[in-house]
Structures are given as C-alpha cells and as structure tokens.
Amino acid sequence: MPTDVDVSESIIESQPLGQEPAAPSVSLLPEMVIRPRRGWFAIDLNELWQYRELLYFLTWRDIKVRYKQTVLGALWAIIQPALNMVVFTLFFGRLAKMPSDGVPYPIFVYAGLLPWTYFSHAVTQAGNSVIGDKNLITKVYFPRLLIPMGAATAGLMDFVIAMTVLGGLMVYYGFVPSVGLMLFPVLALVTYILAIGVGLWFAALNVKYRDVTYAIPFVVQLWMFCTPVIYPTTLLKKYAWVMALNPMGGLIEAYRACTLGHMPIAWASLSISCVIILAVFMGGLIYFRRMETHFADVI
C-alpha cells in the first residue's frame, strides 16, 4: 500500500580526544516509520512508477506460465477466438439466421469476439491474481495494485496476435480500412482500463470471499450474452439504448464500426460507456486500495 516514510536524522556528538566514542543511545539512531497514507484517493503514482520494472516482470511471468510446456504456444491466442467464430457462425449465423447489419457473419462476430476474448480473460486472471500470489504478498512489500495490473497487461499480447486473424478476414471479405481505424488503439486502451477496473473489484472481493473464484466464470459468461458479441444492437430496436449501460456494449459496437466501416460510430453510446468505465475503474481502485491493508492478514 502507498506509504509515507519519515526519517529522523541521528545526532553525533563530538567526543574529547583520547576517549573512545560513547555508544549512541537508542533514541539517537535513525528511525524509519512506515504508515499508510490517509484518504480514499491516496494513490502514490510515484511509487507505482518506481516499481515499473516489477510490473514488467509480473507480466512476463504470467505470459511464460501461460504457454509453459505447450506444443502450440502463442497459437492458442488465435485458436480460441477463431474456433468460437466458427461455432457461432454455424449455430447463430446459419441455423438461427442471426442478423449482422449486412456484414458477413464470420467477420461480424469475430470483430466482437476479439475485444471480448481479451476482456473476459483479463478479468478472470486479474480477479484470481491476488490469491494466486499470496506467498509473495505475505513476505515482501510492494504496491499490490501491480498484481492485477500485470495479469491484465499479459493478455494484451494475445489480443495483438489475434488481431492478425481479423486482418486476414478483412482482406478475404474485401473490407478496406478507413480513417476510423485510427480509433482502434484508443478503444484497446479503454478496454484495458475496464478490465483492470473490474479485475480490481473481483481481486479484492476474492481475498475475503473465495466464492468469487467460482462466480467469475459464471458472471463473465452471462455478461457475454448481455453484450452484442453474437448479435447487433439494432436487433433490440427501441431498447437499443439499454445496451449503452453495458460498458462493453458501446465498446464492441465502436470496434465493429471503426474496423468494418459498415456503419458510423455511435458516439453517444460510446461516451456513455466511457463514463461508466471511468466510474468502474475509479470504484475498483478505491475499493482495492481500501482492502489491501488487510490482504496479508486474511489471504
């Protein structure tokens, strides 16, 4: 947790010549007091910057552990969303005749699966990250915030690798990138912030209530069906505005609009989603910071 450090200078008194220096009293020795900062928003950004190398090592550790002793390695980052695209295309695209706003269903659903796969994986990993590193937490001090941040950051590599499939689908179906594609990195950053925010909520709750470990996959699955991943927002007709209250709903629609260019970006819906994302992130940050003082005691 963020700390203030007070160091009181030791006073060295001069000794007469020919005499051995007297042993300093306990009260004159340097004294370091470590105490938590006061207030809800006492987040020490300078401390996080000082520990930036630890964030790198935590991220790299999660990446190596994920693909350790695997035959396909990083190809799993492509296989998972690609197979989901095939299954959804067969069942929802062909059998259920799900509309796709005039776009071929495979690329339509993959454009939604790409950010969703990263988000769901990042939330799951971040939510279980603190209890997974309990031995590290109980032995040494460092900003606990770096643990869920490292878990969410590690998933960005899979996100970048999976983008190659979307590029191949755009070439295959003849979609030419437009100027709106410049918004893609911004959307990726906002998705990353949302994943950290939700992950912080789950991570802090998971330390005290281990039921959260089993609830996270269930919540994420339900969240996917409440998000326009396999169906367009236009399917909801006059209730489409409700989707703006789902932060991932506005983001996924923006992802599709900026990559496929089949429809203009819904700035109103995206703005509402960004406001909610900011609230979720700040709430998770405050709650995590509030609870981290007790992590070592109850983990």
Question: Along the chain (299 residues), what's the average pLDDT of each consecutive run of 10 residues?
Answer: 45 48 54 53 71 88 81 81 92 88 91 94 93 83 88 91 91 85 93 96 91 92 92 82 85 91 84 94 91 77
Q: What is residue 5's predicted lDDT score, i.e. its pLDDT?
A: 46
Other Cβ atoms less than 10 A from the Cβ of 274: the count is 19
Structural contact between residues 276 and 245, judged by C-beta atoms closer than 8 angstroms: yes
pLDDT of residue 22: 55
Structure tokens at 6: 């007070």
| Residue 9 belongs to some domain of the structure | no
Q: Is 40 inside any structural domain?
A: no
Predicted local confidence at residue 10, as pLDDT: 39
Is 23 within the bounds of a domain?
no
For 178-224, write each residue's pLDDT tens digit: 888 889 999 999 999 999 999 999 999 998 888 899 999 999 999 99
pLDDT of 15 reads 47
What does the block give as tokens for 83? 């197979």
* 100 phi/psi in degrees, rounded to 5: -140, 30
pLDDT value, residue 12:
40
pTM: 0.82
| 37 in Cβ contact with 3 (< 8 Å) | yes
Instruction: Name every residue whose Cβ is closer than 8 Å to that of residue 251 and which is 6 or more positions away in sequence.
Output: 115, 187, 190, 191, 194, 270, 273, 277
Give the position of tokens 């095939």.
Answer: 86
Q: Residue 169, Cβ neighbours under 10 Å: how many?
A: 20
**Distance of alpha carbon 212 from alpha carbon 61, whole angstroms:** 24
Specify the DSSP class assigned to residue 294.
G
Residue 13 resides in a domain: no
User: What is the extent of the structural domain holding 185?
Assistant: 47-298
Per-residue pLDDT at 32:
54
Whether residue 20 is contained in a domain is answered as no
pLDDT digits (tens, 9 = 90+) for 159-181: 999 999 999 999 999 888 788 88
Task: Please count the structural domains in the chain.
Answer: 1
Q: Assess if residue 25 is contained within a domain.
A: no
How far from 45 is each of 14, 130, 144, 145, 291, CA to CA, in Å?
A: 42, 20, 13, 11, 18
Q: Does an H or E element contain 3, and which?
A: strand 3-8
How far apart (Å, rounded) are the C-alpha atoms in residues 8 and 258?
A: 57
Residue among 275, 290, 299, 221 nearest 36 (CA): 290
pLDDT at site 11: 38
| CA dist., res. 71 & res. 53, Å (int) | 29
